[in-house]
Amino acid sequence: MTEQAKAARRDGRPRRKLVMSEILEQAMELFAERGYDGTTLQDVADAVGLSRPNLYNYVRSKEELLVAMVEATSQEAAATLRAVRERTDLDPAEKLRTLVRILVLQRAAHPARFRTLDRSEQSLPAEIAERHLDARRAVLAEITAVLDDGVTAGLFRPVDTRVTALSVIGMCNWVAWWFHPSPAHPAEPVADQIAENALAMVARPEGRTPDAPTPLGAAALLQQDLDYLVRLLRGEADAT
């Protein structure tokens, strides 16, 4: 390959990604407005400003659009979350903060795409629906795993980690239902607040963290709380 061809390829890939992203965005808007069945590839080509043959360089069918949408939304999220969960330089609290920020920022950047994908679930071809569902399950599994790690390490309260992971996902997903991207409403502060909320939701109240996540540490907590109970009961007894 010549240097020129290499340069073109280097330039070409980001451009291809950009055009594909624009195609997806426009397709999602059309699906949202007219429904999946009411939208043609010609409509998509018109909306993006491409000729139909040119559009064919990117997608060859509406079904391919759905596959790309699922890949760019749920599957990409699942892969990113997995990479964060596997990092060894972050503790479970830092992982949870990072995961929540990623989910919120993705939904805030493409709310229409996310909602349309959700609303199209019924019309997704079985194979694509399965991939989407797998990705949703993977997102749940990653967040549940981080919560489990945090509880075991004594950083998080012993919550029902599945229901709590679904609470976290609900907080993040709902952003696509209420956030309207605009320069006046940046997504960053929203992502920060929701990440802080998720952490507060599972954090052990200060002072309740055992020194080490060992049965002995847990027993020490029990001892302290037992003393506290006795003090309260003694106070009540004294008052009567």
Number of residues written out for the chain:
240
Cα 161–Cα 162–Cα 168 angle in degrees, nearest 5: 85
Q: Looking at this protein, which amino acid is placed at residue 223?
A: Q
Among candidate residues 112, 99, 132, the one with its CA nearest the CA of residue 178: 112
Nearer to a copy of itself, 82 or 204 (CB): 204
What is 105-160 written as a DSSP string?
Answer: HHHHH-HHHHHHHHHHGGGS-HHHHHHHHHHHHHHHHHHHHHHHHHHHTTSB----
> In the set 11, 33, 76, 188, which binds a copy of itself (CB under 8 A)?
33
> In the set 40, 51, 57, 214, which binds a copy of itself (CB under 8 A)?
214
Question: In whole angstroms, how close is the CB of 240 to a copy of itself at the nearest point?
Answer: 13
> In the set 49, 178, 183, 184, which binds a copy of itself (CB under 8 A)?
178
Cα–Cα dist 29/194, whole Å? 26
205 is a site residue for a copy of itself (CB under 8 A): yes
174 is a site residue for a copy of itself (CB under 8 A): yes
Question: In whole angstroms, how close is the CB of 194 to a copy of itself at the nearest point?
Answer: 6
Return the H-helix or E-strand segment holding 7.
Answer: helix 3-34
Cα–Cα dist 22/208, whole Å? 49
Question: In whole angstroms, how close is the CB of 191 to a copy of itself at the nearest point?
Answer: 10
Instruction: Identify which range of 67-75, 80-88, 91-99, 151-159 contacts a copy of itself by CB under 8 A.
Output: 151-159
Question: In whole angstroms, how close is the CB of 60 to a copy of itself at the nearest point?
Answer: 27
Instruction: Identify which range of 39-47, 60-68, 79-87, 210-218 contacts a copy of itself by CB under 8 A.
Output: 210-218
Cα–Cα dist 103/195, whole Å? 10
Question: In whole angstroms, how close is the CB of 11 to a copy of itself at the nearest point?
Answer: 39
Question: In whole angstroms, how close is the CB of 178 to a copy of itself at the nearest point?
Answer: 5
Q: Are 90 and 98 in contact (CB under 8 A)?
A: yes
Return the H-helix or E-strand segment holding 100.
Answer: helix 92-109
Nearer to a copy of itself, 163 or 184 (CB): 163
Helix axes 188-202, 161-173, angle to 10 degrees: 170
Residues that bind a copy of itself (CB under 8 A): 32-33, 35, 118-119, 122, 151-152, 154, 157-160, 163-164, 166-167, 169-175, 177-178, 189-190, 193-194, 196-198, 200-203, 205-208, 213-215, 218-219, 221-222, 224-229, 231-233, 235-236
